[in-house]
Chain A
């Protein structure tokens, strides 16, 4: 099948246009983080040639509290991911490799998914009041707990998909060899789903890292704030420090982009809660 040259060129042109639209605004922000104030505001805008400076990064992370926010973001997203992945994988295994009475496995699976459908603003008011009652407001722990719950449905659905692809015979063979259920899970099943497990974990990391609303409401001081909340806090004041904000935003997006590229293969399935196989 041959395509006329013009059509082919058009296709490439469109693809390049789409890529440019996706990437240029982000690139622009990165240049702002590296420009001195004078270059930031120059017209026509300086896209390529300017005197780069790291002053804004120093300002944000050394003299302001962004270093602290960064640490909190890392601690919270790593611990929330760990707990969600451990709990969710066990649940997913139960749902995919056991048949429960009264079709409970199906019901549980749907019910777990449905909790993911609540708009966060619906649960934020009660969660805030609950955290207040147990005196956990303004702690990293409150964020870890909330993010764990937030990520669980996602882990269950993704892992359930990966588990269901493992042939039963493999597991049964292991059990004939004398392994218990959990022994078989550990020795045979887990190694097989390891790539999927890693992808799921990366997704949880991304979701926790990007989360804003809960962190905004549940934290009050620098020690418990995450990076997105810290950035948002610098947006609306009198004199907006664009360089500092862009520097912080650049740092906030870098790990995400690296991770996202790492799990590209699983991206579709992850984003669609396992509903579409990628």
Chain B
């Protein structure tokens, strides 16, 4: 009996561990091997890694990714928090509001790409069409066609899709806050801002950190919508690291270089995630 008791959990865990070893860990090892083989000869070299630092395309794709993540994260957090505070109050039809807000984040990213290609089309898209019918000249509003506007457009699409997610998690966080501190604050005669700043925000911090962690991880890997919306263009304006890696691997056939770049992406993602996780752990141990 005690024998099975000892081995049973390992038996139960084994299939999962094996699958993950085979399909998550082994690929990483494989990628190390591929990244250390430059060119056609099978000699070992660090060439793929040294090339990274002089590849202006890679560096600017990295920069785009980071700026994209930062911009989108800021907007999503502020808007999501605002919405959560708004809908945390007593309201008629609150659950209906909440349910409809879920629509964007559940959509397949490819569908999101299609939705926004339709909406942003300069000639017959819903946005320019509506503006035109109000008599606004839309000739310069080419959205995904001009570099600066294209970058903002893809960020806006991300904000559209993922603000609801931030909202949902923060709303859950708000609803888990007990009522007592608020009652105490009211007795002290604190202002609404003071209550928010000194009660709500600190108590909401774990939820905020989790949202930041999950969103950052997703933002740094963004691929699908941009692939559909702009494919990295115009010029190189919306090319992110994931797109550039895809291009290097599957359009140029440079698997080794692609693998090397993906390690840098992994490193950056992990470094940033680690900061959040440390903060979270500190929060929990308090």
Contact = CB atoms under 8 A, between A and B. Distances in A.
A149 interface: yes
Contacts of A227: 108
B198 interface: no
Contacts of A249: 110-111, 114-115
A217 interface: yes
B214 to A, nearest CB: 6
Contacts of B269: 117, 119
B16 A129 contact: no
B210 A44 contact: no
Interface string A238-278: 00001001100100110011001100100110011101111
B5 interface: yes
Interface string A83-94: 000011011011
A126 B110 contact: no
Interface string B248-263: 0110000100110011
Contact of B106 (A19, A145, A206): A206
A19 B249 contact: no
A25 B262 contact: no
Contact of A41 (B16, B99, B113, B124): B124
Nearest to B246: A121
Interface stretch (B24-32, B38-46, B70-78): B24-32
B124 A28 contact: no
Contacts of B52: none
A93 B13 CA distance: 9
Main secondary structure of the interface of A (DSSP, over half): helix
Nearest to A18: B83
Contacts of B168: 267-268, 271, 278
A126 B31 contact: yes
B86 A14 contact: yes
Q: How large is the interface on A (under 10, 10 to 19, 20 to 34, 35 or more residues)?
A: 35 or more
B176 A277 contact: yes
B124 A126 contact: no
B275 interface: no
A87 B16 contact: yes
A71 interface: no
Contact of B207 (A120, A260, A276): A276
A32 B30 contact: no
B9 A12 contact: no
Contacts of B16: 87-88, 90-91, 112, 152, 156
A61 interface: no
A70 to B, nearest CB: 13
Contact of B172 (A105, A112, A257, A268): A268
Interface string A1-32: 00000000001101100110111111011001
Contacts of B108: 209-210, 212, 227-228, 252-253, 256
Interface stretch (A48-56, A164-172, A192-200, A229-237): A229-237
A12 B96 CA distance: 12
Contact of B165 (A95, A105, A217, A271): A271
A119 B243 CA distance: 12
A257 B99 CA distance: 10
B132 A87 contact: no
B87 interface: yes
A125 interface: yes
Contacts of A44: 129-130, 132-133
Given A11-B89, A29-B115, A126 B12 contact: no
A43 interface: yes
Interface string B56-88: 000000000000000000000000000100110
Interface of B: 4-5, 8-10, 12-13, 15-17, 19-20, 22-28, 30-31, 34, 83, 86-87, 89, 91, 97-104, 106-111, 113-119, 123-124, 126, 129-130, 132-133, 160, 164-165, 168-169, 171-173, 176, 206-207, 210-211, 214, 217, 220-221, 223-224, 227-228, 231, 241-242, 245-246, 249-250, 255, 258-259, 262-263, 265-266, 269-270, 273
Closest 4 CB pairs of A and B: A44-B133, A149-B23, A119-B221, A126-B27
Given A24-B126, A28-B119, A276-B206, 20 more contacts: A22-B104, A25-B119, A29-B114, A44-B129, A87-B15, A90-B15, A98-B5, A108-B17, A115-B25, A117-B270, A118-B266, A121-B221, A124-B249, A125-B249, A125-B255, A130-B30, A212-B108, A213-B246, A228-B109, A277-B172
